[in-house]
């Protein structure tokens, strides 16, 4: 009995021990006083700090600690620990404590390679803003140029996934790495590596400097495209060689779709709360073939070519699904009805129906010609993060923050299959064209493979060198 109490006592001490260790290594940010004649402005003084040092992990689909720092409203709503800001009381505000590194969790996380803590001046401005009442933005938006944020080596969330058309390979994007697996054995075959260095010239062994947000195999399986901060890369999945790098994107590239003939790659992205970015690349030359300007008023999260390649559907944070002509880039029509970010869109093989999945938890099916909503499909308990049509069928696959992957029939709205087993938020899903190999991944860092024909779990793919869970 006594030893049990001792054990319990030790267990209770453990968090404190870990905490003091962390504290021992990391110095708090120096506290300095600043004097200002004018009030601190959220948009001018505070938001630029978030853009520079926080948004890579706290915006868009990535909301670590359930905290969205992309807007004033998101900041004031707080995260999983509750309110981050108590207006007038910096000392009681989690935001101030985490950034000053006087309270856990230290932000940005100290293990970051390229993430600098707040400077004493930035921290002082933040303190002053909170103490002045944490006032809302006034409308003068001054966004600094986006800079690359490099995730720490251990980051494990899977944000991009792709299954090769012949079902032999699974590609998983974790942090800034891309891991290629043999689908049958589950063995890690190789990691895709480019010659990279940080802005301050430190070598980086990874596929991209920043987070890999999307992956797609070309229809012939000979190329793997990856989207990350301001760039898209084309790889040879068989040799691991980087074939081409296309730059010139405004911000993160978060959505990719090859045309059915493999000639074009559609890309979607853009900085949060700015114009979305929607471009089509000519795969052979790497040149931009279509640049849709002002297509969306916010980040583009999903892109999908019509089956005949003459049109491009897109969706985004502005809640719209839109269709543009290819290659003119001319706007054709838009579909309105979702009440939150639309995170995935796809065309049915007959070209007549579109389906979209949203952070409002619903799937909507649209009649393309009529421009009307056909049905809404409910069932997911949380944000739908990706949606794809399965080959030439009437079925779509979705993954969600509710930790499930599901198949749905868009013709009648029926739920076809449910693939449970994930233990965290799902960001990514991929399905072979024949619907038999399903891969899903998210916050857990594990990719789960399922048999799409019967719903059975096949195996889990862990990060290289780690033990995969048995279920
Ligand atoms: C590399 C990723 C990363 C960066 C960059 C980052 N954070 Fe975080 N943040 C996290 C993670 C992961 C958590 C959850 C940690 C936990 O719960 O222990 C978190 C949690 C938080 C929380 C606690 C939310 C809650 O309610 O639990 C705050 C506040 C926060 N971050 C603020 C910031 C700020 C401000 C910045 C920029 C100065 C920043 N973070 C940069 C990854 C990051």
DSSP string, 243-269: EEEEEEEEEEEEEEEE-TTSSEEEEEE
pLDDT single digits (tens) 196-217 = 998 888 899 999 999 999 999 9
- Residue 7: its pLDDT value, please? 42
pLDDT single digits (tens) 45-89 = 999 899 888 887 888 767 889 999 988 999 999 999 999 999 999
- Residue 13: its pLDDT value, please? 41
Give residue 290 CA to ligand 1 midpoint distance, Å: 37
- Residue 273: its pLDDT value, please? 75
Q: What's the CA gap between 69 and 398, in Å, rounded?
A: 26
- Residue 19: its pLDDT value, please? 42
Is residue 249 a contact partner of residue 289, using CB atoms and an 8 Å limit? no
Give residue 95 CA to ligand 1 midpoint distance, Å: 9
Q: What average pLDDT does range 420-424 have in this prediction?
A: 90
What is the percent of the chain where pLDDT is above 90?
A: 77
pLDDT of 416 over the 50 cut = yes
Per the omega criterion (within 30 degrees of 0), is the bond before 156 cis?
no
Is residue 178 a contact partner of residue 212, using CB atoms and an 8 Å limit? yes
Q: What's the CA gap between 268 and 324, in Å, rounded?
A: 13
Give the SS3 label for residue 231: strand
**Side-chain-side CA neighbours of residue 189 (13 Å):** 17
Q: What's the CA gap between 38 and 88, in Å, rounded?
A: 17
What are the structural domains, with CATH classification, of the chain?
A: 23-131 (no CATH), 158-461 (2.130.10.10)
Could you tell me the sign of the dihedral formed by the alpha carbons of 136, 138, 142, 143, in that order?
positive
- Residue 70: its pLDDT value, please? 87
Q: What's the CA gap between 428 and 442, in Å, rounded?
A: 6
- Residue 174: its pLDDT value, please? 95
The helix (H) or strand (E) run that includes residue 12 is: helix 2-25
Is residue 353 a contact partner of residue 347, using CB atoms and an 8 Å limit? yes
- Residue 278: its pLDDT value, please? 96
Which atom of ligand 1 is closest in space to residue 149's alpha carbon? 5
Residue located via tokens 């780690």: 466
Give residue 105 CA to ligand 1 midpoint distance, Å: 7
In 3D space, the residue among 52, 54, 75, 60 whose CA is nearest the CA of residue 144 turns out to be 52
| Residues forming a β-bridge with 173 | 160, 178
Q: ∠ CA 38-39-45 to the nearest 5 degrees?
A: 105
Which atom of ligand 1 is closest in space to residue 79's alpha carbon? 26
- Residue 223: its pLDDT value, please? 98
Q: What's the CA gap between 100 and 463, in Å, rounded?
A: 32
Kindly give, in sequence order, each residue whose CB lies less than 8 Å from that of residue 421, ignoring residues fewer than 6 positions away: 448, 457, 471
What is the percent of the chain where pLDDT is above 70?
A: 92
Q: What's the CA gap between 274 and 467, in Å, rounded?
A: 41
Joined together, the tokens standing for residue 388 give 């794809």
- Residue 5: its pLDDT value, please? 44
Pocket test for ligand 1, best of 48, 65, 125, 155 (most atoms within 8 A of CB): 65
pLDDT of 139 over the 70 cut = no
| Least confident range of 148-157, 159-168, 219-228, 447-456 | 148-157
- Residue 406: its pLDDT value, please? 98
Look up the pTM and report it.
0.70
- Residue 152: its pLDDT value, please? 76
- Residue 57: its pLDDT value, please? 81
pLDDT single digits (tens) 163-197 = 999 999 999 999 999 999 999 999 999 999 999 99
pLDDT single digits (tens) 18-51 = 444 444 468 899 999 888 888 999 988 999 899 8
Give residue 64 CA to ligand 1 midpoint distance, Å: 6
pLDDT of 238 over the 80 cut = yes
- Residue 141: its pLDDT value, please? 56
Tell the residue nearest (CA) to atom 29 of ligand 1. Answer: 95
Q: What's the CA gap between 128 and 278, in Å, rounded?
A: 39
Pocket test for ligand 1, best of 49, 54, 75, 252 (most atoms within 8 A of CB): 54
Give the SS3 label for residue 72: helix
Could you tell me the sign of the dihedral formed by the alpha carbons of 428, 390, 314, 192, in that order?
positive
- Residue 241: its pLDDT value, please? 97
């Amino acid at each position: 009995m006594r030893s049990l109490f001792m054990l319990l006592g030790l267990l209770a001490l453990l968090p404190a021990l870990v905490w003091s260790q962390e504290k021992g290594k990391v110095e708090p940010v120096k506290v300095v006083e600043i004097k200002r004649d004018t009030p601190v402005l959220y948009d001018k003084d505070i938001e630029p700090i978030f853009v520079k040092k926080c948004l890579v992990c706290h915006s868009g689909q990535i909301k670590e600690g359930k905290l969205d720092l992309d807007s004033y409203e998101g900041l004031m709503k707080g995260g999983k620990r509750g309110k981050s800001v108590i207006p007038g009381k910096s000392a009681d505000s989690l935001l101030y404590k985490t950034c000053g590194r006087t309270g856990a969790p230290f932000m940005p996380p100290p293990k970051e390679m390229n993430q600098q803590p707040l400077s004493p001046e930035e921290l002082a401005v933040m303190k002053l803003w909170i103490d002045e009442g944490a006032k809302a933005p006034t409308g003068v938006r001054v966004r600094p140029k986006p800079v690359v944020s490099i995730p720490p080596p251990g980051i494990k969330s899977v944000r991009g996934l792709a299954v090769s058309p012949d079902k032999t390979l699974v590609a998983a994007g974790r942090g800034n790495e891309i891991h290629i697996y043999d689908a049958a054995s589950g063995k890690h075959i190789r990691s895709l590596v480019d010659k990279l260095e940080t802005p301050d010239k430190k070598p980086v062994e990874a596929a991209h400097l920043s987070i890999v947000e999307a992956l797609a195999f070309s229809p012939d399986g000979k190329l793997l495209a990856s989207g990350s901060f301001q760039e898209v890369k084309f790889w040879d999945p068989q040799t691991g060689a980087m074939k081409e790098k296309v730059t010139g994107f405004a911000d993160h590239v978060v959505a990719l779709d090859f045309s059915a003939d493999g000639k074009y790659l559609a890309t979607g992205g853009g900085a949060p709360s700015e114009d979305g970015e929607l471009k089509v690349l000519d795969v052979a030359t790497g040149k931009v073939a279509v640049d849709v300007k002002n297509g969306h008023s916010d980040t583009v999260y999903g892109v999908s070519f019509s089956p005949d390649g003459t049109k491009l559907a897109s969706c985004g944070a502005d809640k719209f699904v839109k269709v543009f002509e290819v290659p003119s880039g001319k706007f054709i029509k838009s579909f309105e009805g979702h009440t939150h970010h639309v995170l995935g869109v796809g065309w049915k093989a007959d070209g007549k129906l579109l389906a979209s999945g949203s952070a409002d938890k619903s799937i909507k099916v649209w009649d393309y010609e009529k421009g009307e909503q056909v049905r809404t499909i409910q069932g997911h308990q949380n944000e739908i993060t990706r949606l794809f049509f399965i080959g030439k069928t009437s079925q779509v696959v979705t993954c969600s923050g509710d930790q499930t992957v599901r198949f749905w029939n868009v013709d009648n709205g029926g739920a076809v299959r449910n693939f449970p087993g994930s233990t965290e938020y799902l960001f990514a899903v991929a399905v072979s064209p024949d619907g038999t190999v399903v891969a899903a991944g998210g916050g857990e860092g594990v990719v789960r493979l399922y048999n799409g024909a019967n719903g059975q779990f096949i195996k889990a793919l862990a990060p290289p060198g780690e033990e995969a869970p048995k279920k």
